[in-house]
Structures are given as C-alpha cells and as structure tokens.
Amino acid sequence: MSDSPRRQLATKIAGEVTLSADPGSTLRKWRTDFDVSQTNLAAELDVSSSVISDYESGRRENPGIGVVSRIVEALLTIDESRGGDHIRQYARVLSAGFESDIVRDLREYPTTVRLSRLYDAIDATEVQSGHATSVSGHTVIDSIAAITRLSSEEFYRLYGQSTSRALVFTEITRGESPLVAMRVVTPTPNAVVLHGIEEDDLWEHAPKLARADGFSLAVTNASTEEMLESLASLP
C-alpha cells in the first residue's frame, strides 16, 4: 500500500537526501541509523563497497533520485530481513500522531524494566529519585521541537500507552524547558532523562521540580546513536 509505514518512511528518507545540501552525509546518517554497514548495503545493491563510500564522501557526483530510491529501498529491505525494527518504530511514532523529527523512538516493553537497568544501559546518572522504580516503555524526544511545536494535549500523547515510562529529552543544555513543561502535564511519567549534559551542568532547580512532581530525574551524555541502540536492546 502506498500509505504503509514502509512507503511513508521511504518517501521521507528519499526526500531528505534529495533536498539535502550534502546528500552524501544524509545518506550516511540514515545508513548508520539503520545500523547497516557499507558492505551490507553494497551487497544488497550488488555494487562494490567503494561505490557507497564514494557517494557518502561526495567523491561521486550527487546521486540522482533513481540511485537514492534504490539505496532507500535496500535499507528498508535489510531492516525487514532483520525483523523490521526501524520500520515498526516509525509506524509507532506515526500512530501516536507525531513526526519523526519530534519523536526519535517510542516503545512499549513486553515486561517492566527496572529504572536502574535502563539507566545502566544508557550510562545515565540519577540525580533525583522518584516514586516508581520501574518503567513499561520509553519515548525519546527532540526537546526543542517538542516544546516549541506541541500543545499540552499533544505533549501528553508522548506517553504512548502508559505513563509508566521514561521520557528522554535529547540535546539538552541545562534542562529548564523540559522540567518546566512537565509541570503542566498531568499525570507525570515515572522518569525523565535529560540527554546531552553532565550532572554539573544541570539547572539547579531541576531536582527540586522532579521531587515535587514525584518522578525520577537522570542525566546522560552518551551519544544519541549509542543511546538509541542501547534502548533498542531493552528489555
């Protein structure tokens, strides 16, 4: 079907690459997001690895829409052969009514996961404990896009199927905006993770607000890619 999550994702990726000022870099971003090596992608396309490398580095002339479409379809085919995790992730985000530039990942776990395990997986440090010690899912959110573009009602839908989850806000500088935004959302999640900062950089009032609302607050400075990969391995 033309409106399937796979087709919508293919259109999104191809559009980003085609319109990018640096198509090779955008191709590389999506390939690494899908955790596909140049060798595996080349094998799926029946070309040499150097062809993929040349496109990504800009040594070859910018790929036309035909080449881009072939590469995108190859990435999606590889993902489906591995179980379709990335396509399903995109479908979950769509079903929640968000664009993927706002929600990077939205998952429900088949069993509850202790917060300590989640924090260990993403190298996070808890700076304020909360009422709950486990979660049933997570949502990874672009903090600026969410705060500037979502209404309070839309913000609540970030919870997915349950508030028993961790909301992970990426690209944080100090944490004021997400913590203030959480004050207008009821009920609150079990945990909030601020990504991109160390504990010493955290807004001084953040732990107090988390304590007042009863959720666990943690920070992590792991790379976005590593964090998403670690979260994908849970539970």
Mean pLDDT computed over 147-168: 72
Is it the case that residue 197 has pLDDT exceeding 50?
yes
Is it the case that residue 144 has pLDDT exceeding 60?
yes
Is it the case that residue 92 has pLDDT exceeding 70?
no
Confidence label for 157 from pLDDT (cuts 50, 70 and 90): low
**Rounded to two decimals, what is the model's pTM?**
0.61
Is it the case that residue 79 has pLDDT exceeding 60?
yes
The average confidence (pLDDT) of the chain is: 85
Mean pLDDT computed over 2-7: 73
Highest-confidence segment of 66-75, 95-104, 139-148: 66-75
Mean pLDDT computed over 52-64: 87
Domains, the chain, ordered by start? 5-87 (1.10.260.40), 98-232 (3.40.1390.20)
pLDDT of 47? 94
For residues 104 and 232, the answer to whether their CB atoms sit within 8 Å is no
For residues 191 and 167, the answer to whether their CB atoms sit within 8 Å is yes
Q: Report the range of poorest mean pLDDT among 38-52, 169-183, 208-222.
A: 169-183
